Amino acid sequence: MDVLEEVLRLRREGKRAVMATIVHTNGSIPSFESSRMLVREDGSIVGTIGGGCVEAEVWAAAKDVLKAEAPRKMTFNLNNEASFDNGLICGGTLEVFVEPVLPQPTLYIFGGGHVSMALANAAHTVGFSIGVIDDREQFANSQRFPMAAEIYTSFEDSYAKIKPNPSTYLLIVTRGHRDDMRVLAWAVKTSARYIGMIGSKRKVLSVYQALEREGFAPELFDRVNAPVGLNIGALTPEEIAVSITAELIAVRRGATDVAHKAVQRKHAAAPAEAPLETKAPETESVSR
């Protein structure tokens, strides 16, 4: 199996891996410069960088490289004394560059309003593939979202065709909280890396409570970022898009100690019920 072809296949499927490449050699080594080994997330291997202790140590390091999603360089001195037990009596040295192979993250935006337009532009600029879903064709189209790789004009159709994985980000910014609720009911059952939903804290809690009354476990909403975005005092659609994009980057890069706006709940005591609000079907709110 060709290593580079396997990289392409994994990226298409939204899967991660680690690529190890010999970038420098000196003296006698059990392989050659530019040799590659791919370590899949399940630990299986494609290709080789010579076997023995070098390959074993790189394989062990792959887990940490994938967890941090950051590359590292490893240097090996293959002298007789250190390598005898592993069969690598070569006497040379080599450097191996170990890097994560990550699929392009995809952001699916449910809702085609003002915030969605600004968000699609901002997120696409920082490397996200964009998908847009709205049940109104005048809001979900290539003229309005020229950067979108996928556009759906039916929520139900998108549920059937979108297959969220650990590289998928879902953002719920529909025109009304009833639509927010039904999208969230689908989203929390997926394996998406990130789920975000716009709205005030009171309205977010209302959506959670409505779904819990339908039988959803409260714990399902623990991974939902709602209200969405980082707390930077954003007001305009463009500022809100920056706030949300910053949160997407923070999640993608594993940043800690950032000021998320998301409400945190204690499941033992649910707050009082609050009615859900809806908006007129063809009215686009500036906040969305």
Per-residue pLDDT tens over the stretch 232-271: 999 999 999 999 999 999 999 888 888 898 988 876 544 4
CA geometry: angle 173, 179, 183, nearest 5 deg? 75
Query: Residues of the chain with pLDDT > 90: what percent?
Result: 67
Distance, in Å, from the CA atom of 161 to the CA atom of 151, rounded to the nearest integer, reads 11
Report pTM.
Answer: 0.78
283: pLDDT strictly greater than 60: no
28: pLDDT strictly greater than 70: no
Per-residue pLDDT tens over the stretch 41-80: 999 999 998 877 888 999 999 999 998 888 999 998 876 4
Q: Which parts of 164-272 fold into alpha helices (H)?
A: 177-187, 201-213, 237-253
Question: What pLDDT band is residue 24 in, cutting at 50, 70 and 90?
Answer: confident
Query: What pLDDT does residue 275 have?
Result: 45
18: pLDDT strictly greater than 50: yes
Mean pLDDT calculated for residue range 191-206: 94
Mean pLDDT calculated for residue range 261-285: 53
Question: In the numeric block, which tokens belong to residue 100?
Answer: 């994560």
Per-residue pLDDT tens over the stretch 133-154: 999 999 999 999 999 999 999 9
Residue with tokens 């979900």: 140
108: pLDDT strictly greater than 90: yes
